Chains A and B, each alone.
Chain A
Amino acid sequence: MNKKQIIRTVAFLLLVGVLLYFLCDLFEYGNNYITKRYKTYKSFEENTVDGVFIGTSGVDRYWIAPQAYEEYGMTVYPFSVDALPSWLVIDMIKEARKYQNPQLIMIDIRPFASPVSPDKTLTENRAKRVIDMLDFFSPLRIDAIKRTDEVMTEKYSDYDTDIITYYLTFINSHNKWDSEDFTFDDIGSTKSTHLGMYFVKKFISKKKLEPFKAYTGTKELDPINEKYLNELLDYIEAEGLNVLFIDTPHNMKEEVAMQSNRVCEILNDRGIACINYNTAEGLAACDFDYKNDFYEGSHTNFYGATKFTNVLSKYISENYQLPDRRGDEACEEWNGVYERTLKTIKKWEKAKAKK
């Protein structure tokens, strides 16, 4: 082979590398709004986000960041991924701290209270939402992959996924071309237009529910969840982080509720702040209308989220000294978002009423 041929071959292989990178971006496993939420967070100026709320869909369906900013000037961002697995919570916190220096880190209890599913594909896919969201070459992504591989190997005797399929996401997600999730609209698009909150039309739908039961009593956690909760707590203590664990109100099986209570018990034993909104007091504080405030048993809709945000943001304002960022030029993009959000909600409501 002569020099020209070698250069050509290398150039072509680099082109193939770029193509693979592009395909991984296009065919990431998670929904596009998760990546948008993440990329929006990364785009904020340094030291402008004073709080992050890490967790599952129990975060972004409950915390309306524009509302909290509008009322109190607090910049608390929902840094969440649907069904976030317990072993990846620590990576999410580390990722959040890479770009900002949040004074308050709120952590959703749900990852630690829900037992790891016996369905290995479901568990793997939940982890992939985080893995695919993180930057391709990020060391935390590699860490997330290794952790997931370890957990999957420990939990499932028939686990046989090739680890390379985590790195090259399109290998298991390329069939997305045939699904509704696939759209070219999100290539290059970085912004969540409403500061990370869950913002789709479904968010104004209503499902009538029975009032949630408040369970007392505790149950031992899934061993995997307990292991990674303790690892997280060690990290929090070592780093001296200011954290507040929260269990957002939702319909739970008694077994899960008892595990949630057990999490709070562990936190209390280690002197870490925790609010369980699934207790009788917590539910009373939220004062939900069970006919109108949920779109399904596990999540509030916009109206329920508004109430919850009121309660939690009031709590934060009374117990934590987060700065009022209204008028701060660096937080310009937080201004007017709530107004815009309400306008869009009204539009959706009108359209829904016409149907």
Chain B
Amino acid sequence: MSFTSLEFIGFLLAVVVLYYIVPKKYRWIELLVASYTFYLINGIPQIAFIIATTLITYFAAIIMQKRRDRYKAELDAVRDQITKEEKQVMKKTANSYIHTVQVLAVLADLIILAVVKYLGFVLDNVNSVFASFNSDFSLTLPHIIVPLGISFYTFASMGYLIDIGRGKYNAERNVAKLALFVSFFPTIIQGPICRFDEVAPGLFEGHELKYDNLKFGAQLIMWGFFKKMVIADRAALYVTEVFSTGYDKYSGTALFFGMFMYAVQIYGDFSGGIDIARGAAQMMGIELPNNFERPYFSQSVAEYWRRWHITLGAWMREYVFFPIMLSKPVSGLSKKARKVSAYLAKMVPSVITPFIVFILIGIWHGASWKYVAFGLYNAIIVASSVALDPVFDKLNKLLKINTEAFSWRVFRIIRTFLILGVSKILVKAPSLTTAIDILRKIFTEADLNFFKLTQESEIFSIGINPANMLVLAFGVFILFVTSCFQESGIHIRESLAKQNLVFRWVIYIIALILILVFGMYGSAYNAADFIYKAY
């Protein structure tokens, strides 16, 4: 059931209505039933995976919690009777046990994800190695349909387990409540990746019916529909064609424009889906974290990853980046580097860690070498910008560049966008070799005639006609203007709420007309599934 389908709209309306009918203390149960119903509609066999992950996570968390509670109780009983060293031994024993359970449970969740999503890729590569030695030996895997949202709910579960392991909060005793956290239907298709302590109170507490929640939630959903159906799915017409296996018949400029269109498509698609998820949750008074903060306004790749897929970046920072940075091996390496220079000591963890994080981010996106290359590329950019930061500082001073100037900011935004464009080609191209070839063509086969806007121009012969290109340009313009307002700190929905009724209704009706008339849906189009649904 796609977010932009009539079925989902009907489903959501039913869930929201029922939510407010059901007595407050049982509303979380209604959400759990709705979430599992949603999951079942999307595929019955795959439900075994989410149940398995939920149960592993639940029991492991309970075991860790019980061990921690026992440790605290034992310590309280003998606190005045034992030495400091004995207390440390008690703590170390408890922590070791908890840590072991945490690691095993996280591994178990990861193994489920790895088998479903990555084993095929691994086997393909193993078979390729055997084939290169002219061996007939080959391993096969039965076809497994990747369960809906497995990457998202697995990460959410692992984050929960690590938090429990750290003693950040107590484990949830009610398995059904944990099941709701893992399976909450607005987040299951493409996130955001939620932290238990951030969303649980909102999920489990029954909320009062508030007009503002319904209104703002519906507005956010509409905005998500606009981004997805008017912008993203329209840009997809061009992108699908130009990045197909027939890409070599297009000029380098056409492919470069395809990079731009893909950037528009992926942002509209992903952020649109998140808006719909957050809007749906908001209608029931539940707040989900934001996942995008106008990422194309970023002035560096590092900043981009703080604005794009924010919850994944935050998860990586919390559970991968900082633990690695502070780990003994990395700290040890840094200490050794200090013998050479203080600068190197600072750089070692700042350079090594991004490589690990971004390769993981790349692999998270998919089981293919192109995603590994995507991760490596981003790692190189981020690591080198950290390492070369003092050099750039000196260069700016030497060239007397005013780094506070608006023009400098625009330059950095465009530069960052172009740098990221390369990584987008790595993701979108059918394979790594194709991506490399596309990049070669972009740099060597420019054709400025591409932008001559006549009926015969190449730009209008690649999947999208002039009328649709005009609609797309208009949609992107609206998105850009809205983003500029938001970037300057203006909250659009709240600002709109302060306007007069007639003005507001005119805006809402115009928005609705734009979606209903220009949206890419219905049998007239094959509207693209949400891209991140496959993750």
Q: Report yes or no: A16 in contact with B6, Cβ–Cβ below 8 A.
A: no
Instruction: Tell me the nearest residue of chain B to A26, going by C-beta.
Output: B517
Please report the total number of A residues contacting B with Cβ < 8 Å: 25
Q: How far is the CA of A1 from the CA of B519 in the complex (A)?
A: 32
Q: How far is the CA of A333 from the CA of B465 in the complex (A)?
A: 44
Interface residues of B in 496-532 (CB under 8 A from A): 501, 505, 508-509, 512-513, 516-519, 521-525
Q: Report yes or no: A178 in contact with B6, Cβ–Cβ below 8 A.
A: no
Interface residues of A in 134-167 (CB under 8 A from B): 161-162, 164-165
Q: Report yes or no: B516 in contact with A23, Cβ–Cβ below 8 A.
A: yes
Residues in A whose Cβ lies below 8 Å from that of B345: none
Q: Report yes or no: A1 in contact with B522, Cβ–Cβ below 8 A.
A: no
Interchain nearest-CB distance for A116 vs B (Å):
19
Interface residues of B in 466-480 (CB under 8 A from A): 467-468
Question: Which of B214, B505, B518, B522 interacts with A15 by CB under 8 Å?
Answer: B505
Interchain nearest-CB distance for B472 vs A (Å):
12
Residues in B whose Cβ lies below 8 Å from that of A173: 522, 524
Q: How far is the CA of A12 from the CA of B508 in the complex (A)?
A: 10
Produce 1/0 per residue, A12-44, CB < 8 A to B.
100110011001000100000000000000000
Produce 1/0 per residue, A100-142, CB < 8 A to B.
0000000000000000000001000000000000000000000
Q: Report yes or no: B509 in contact with A19, Cβ–Cβ below 8 A.
A: yes
Chain A facing B: main interface SS: helix
Q: Report yes or no: B522 in contact with A172, Cβ–Cβ below 8 A.
A: yes
Interface membership of A175, Cβ < 8 A: yes
Q: Report yes or no: A162 in contact with B6, Cβ–Cβ below 8 A.
A: yes
Q: How far is the CA of A315 from the CA of B525 in the complex (A)?
A: 49
Interchain nearest-CB distance for A4 vs B (Å):
9
Interchain nearest-CB distance for A343 vs B (Å):
37
* Known contacts A162-B6, A178-B465; is-contact A121 B523 (Cβ 8 Å): yes
Q: Report yes or no: A174 in contact with B509, Cβ–Cβ below 8 A.
A: no
Interface membership of B211, Cβ < 8 A: yes
Q: Report yes or no: A19 in contact with B513, Cβ–Cβ below 8 A.
A: yes
Q: Report yes or no: A171 in contact with B509, Cβ–Cβ below 8 A.
A: no
Q: Report yes or no: B522 in contact with A23, Cβ–Cβ below 8 A.
A: no
Residues in A whose Cβ lies below 8 Å from that of B521: 171
Interface membership of B452, Cβ < 8 A: no
Question: Which of B6, B509, B516 interacts with A170 by CB under 8 Å?
Answer: B516
Chain B facing A: main interface SS: helix
Interchain nearest-CB distance for A81 vs B (Å):
20
Q: How far is the CA of A2 from the CA of B214 in the complex (A)?
A: 13
Q: How far is the CA of A163 from the CA of B524 in the complex (A)?
A: 16
Interface size band for B: 20 to 34
Instruction: Tell me the nearest residue of chain A to B523, going by C-beta.
Output: A172
Instruction: Tell me the nearest residue of chain B to A168, going by C-beta.
Output: B6
Q: How far is the CA of A166 from the CA of B131 in the complex (A)?
A: 54
Interface membership of B328, Cβ < 8 A: no
Interface membership of B534, Cβ < 8 A: no
Residues in B whose Cβ lies below 8 Å from that of A16: 509, 512
Q: How far is the CA of A23 from the CA of B514 in the complex (A)?
A: 11
Q: Report yes or no: A174 in contact with B6, Cβ–Cβ below 8 A.
A: no
Interface membership of B25, Cβ < 8 A: no
Q: Report yes or no: A12 in contact with B467, Cβ–Cβ below 8 A.
A: no
Q: How far is the CA of A178 from the CA of B209 in the complex (A)?
A: 42
Q: Report yes or no: B465 in contact with A165, Cβ–Cβ below 8 A.
A: no
Interchain nearest-CB distance for A25 vs B (Å):
13
Interface membership of A5, Cβ < 8 A: yes
Residues in B whose Cβ lies below 8 Å from that of A177: 467, 517-518
Residues in B whose Cβ lies below 8 Å from that of A121: 523
Question: Which of A1, A8, A19, A172 interacts with B524 by CB under 8 Å?
Answer: A172
Q: How far is the CA of A20 from the CA of B512 in the complex (A)?
A: 10
Q: Report yes or no: A165 in contact with B523, Cβ–Cβ below 8 A.
A: yes
* Known contacts A23-B517, A174-B517, A177-B518; is-contact A164 B6 (Cβ 8 Å): yes
Interface membership of B249, Cβ < 8 A: no
Residues in A whose Cβ lies below 8 Å from that of B525: 175
Interface membership of B339, Cβ < 8 A: no
Instruction: Tell me the nearest residue of chain B to A6, going by C-beta.
Output: B211
Q: How far is the CA of A174 from the CA of B518 in the complex (A)?
A: 7
Interchain nearest-CB distance for A146 vs B (Å):
19
Residues on A facing B (Cβ under 8 Å):
1-2, 5, 8-9, 12, 15-16, 19-20, 23, 27, 121, 161-162, 164-165, 170-175, 177-178
**Given pairs A170-B517, A174-B517, 20 additional interface contacts (CB within 8 A):** A1-B209, A1-B211, A1-B214, A12-B505, A12-B508, A15-B505, A19-B516, A23-B513, A23-B516, A27-B517, A121-B523, A162-B6, A165-B523, A172-B522, A172-B524, A173-B524, A174-B516, A174-B519, A177-B518, A178-B467
Residues on B facing A (Cβ under 8 Å):
6-7, 209-211, 214, 465, 467-468, 501, 505, 508-509, 512-513, 516-519, 521-525
A-B contact pairs, 19 of them (CB 8 A): A1-B214, A2-B211, A5-B211, A9-B211, A12-B505, A15-B505, A19-B509, A23-B513, A23-B517, A27-B517, A161-B523, A170-B516, A171-B6, A173-B524, A174-B516, A174-B517, A174-B519, A174-B524, A175-B522
6 cross-chain pairs, A with B, having the tightest CB-CB distances, nearest first = A175-B524, A5-B211, A172-B522, A171-B522, A1-B211, A172-B523
